[in-house]
């Protein structure tokens, strides 16, 4: 996996979670490299700790993982966390202690409520590397029953595709009222932000590059993250600067 392409610098954007805009440049994320795994961490994770980058609202982990063919995470435990896996490239074999198992393929999204405790493994059993985003969200309450769900998300250019939304029957929901959309744009296409129901939002770039406009104008590239408060930041439009733009947008309670 090549290092992320640097983004266009943003002026006067703070890393403080209470600021109107919180910019997380791709090249400044934490970086872990094993013989089978390369991972970029937007927030503190495992041996990487920075009190300024613990979370953004309930969004606790965004790991951009590339896993070698035939390798993966063996059985390990989680508790009291909502875990979302967004497959970007390739496929991953999932199995857990609740009896769920299957293959997560590119375009699929899996959500797992760890609740009172669950064991699971994630193995790339194909002959090609795979890439995914693993996202952790703090649940609204602890001690819930573990749960698992997986869906194939059909992406259409220039359309916000709902992935998570407790008020949308076409989307999944987790044990926290948040929204999550995925968006693909071709070069030159533009789109307005969807209606955000919650006071915080986060854009995570999967591929490509965009410019944002409104009260703030800036560019984002692969791996960049941007947190904002919709009523204060005045971001209202996204314009694609590449032909394979792919991103996630979170609305966070």
Tell whether the model's pLDDT for residue 1 goes beyond 60.
Answer: no
Cβ atoms of 150 and 101 within 8 Å: the answer is: no
Q: Look at residue 214 in the predicted model and tell me its pLDDT.
A: 82
Structure token digits, residue 16: 């403080």
What's the rounded Cα separation, in Å, for the pair 86 and 92?
Answer: 11
Q: Of how many residues is the chain composed? A: 253
Residue 214: Cβ within 10 Å count: 15
Phi, psi of 60 (to 5 degrees): -100, -35
Q: What's the pLDDT at 162? A: 97
Two tokens, residue 95: 């199995």
pTM: 0.91
Q: Is the pLDDT of residue 2 over 90?
A: no
Give the CATH fold of the 21-252 domain: Jelly Rolls (2.60.120)
Distance between CA atoms of residues 129 and 56, nearest Å:
29
pLDDT in tens, 97-134: 888 888 999 999 999 999 999 988 999 999 999 999 99
Residue among 234, 180, 182, 244 at smallest CA distance from 210: 244
Tell the residue number behind the tokens 């074999």, with chain if given. 93
CA dihedral 109, 115, 121, 125 (to 10 degrees): -10
Task: Locate 7 and state its tokens.
Answer: 């983004």
- Please determine, for residue 33, whether its predicted confidence score (pLDDT) is greater than 80: yes
Report the pLDDT value the prediction gives residue 102, as an integer from 0 to 100: 86
Closest Cα partner for 188 from 203, 215, 204, 209?
209
Q: What is the 3-state secondary structure (H, E, C) of 50-85?
A: CHHHCCECCEEEEEEEEECCCCEEEEEEECCCEEEE
Mean pLDDT confidence for 181-206: 96
Residue listed under structure tokens 């979170």: 250
Locate the domains of the chain by residue range: 21-252
20, pLDDT greater than 80: no
- In this prediction, residue 18 carries a pLDDT of 45
- Pairing between β-strand 218-221 and β-strand 101-105 as defined by DSSP bridges: unpaired
């Amino acid at each position: 996996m090549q290092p992320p392409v640097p983004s266009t610098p943003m002026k006067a954007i703070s890393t403080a979670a209470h600021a109107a805009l919180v910019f997380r440049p791709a090249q400044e994320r934490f970086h872990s490299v094993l013989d089978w795994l390369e991972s970029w961490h937007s927030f503190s994770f495992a041996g990487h700790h920075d009190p300024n980058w613990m979370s953004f609202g309930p969004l606790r982990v965004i790991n951009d993982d590339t896993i070698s063919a035939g390798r993966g995470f063996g059985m390990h435990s989680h508790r009291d966390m909502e875990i979302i896996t967004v497959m970007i490239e390739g496929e991953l074999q999932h199995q857990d202690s609740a009896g769920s198992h299957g293959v997560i393929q590119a375009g699929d999204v899996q959500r797992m409520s760890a609740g009172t405790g669950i064991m699971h493994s994630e193995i790339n059993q194909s002959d090609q590397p795979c890439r995914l985003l693993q996202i952790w969200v703090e649940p609204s309450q602890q001690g819930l029953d573990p749960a698992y769900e997986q869906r194939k998300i059909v992406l259409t250019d220039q359309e916000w595709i709902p992935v998570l939304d407790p008020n949308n029957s076409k989307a999944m929901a987790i044990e926290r009222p948040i929204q999550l959309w995925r968006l693909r744009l071709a070069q030159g296409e533009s789109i307005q932000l969807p209606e955000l129901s919650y006071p915080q939002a986060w854009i995570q770039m999967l591929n490509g590059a965009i410019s944002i406009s409104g009260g703030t104008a800036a560019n984002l590239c692969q791996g960049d993250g941007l947190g904002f408060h919709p009523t204060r930041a005045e971001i209202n439009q996204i314009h694609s600067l590449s032909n394979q733009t792919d991103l996630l947008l979170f609305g966070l309670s």
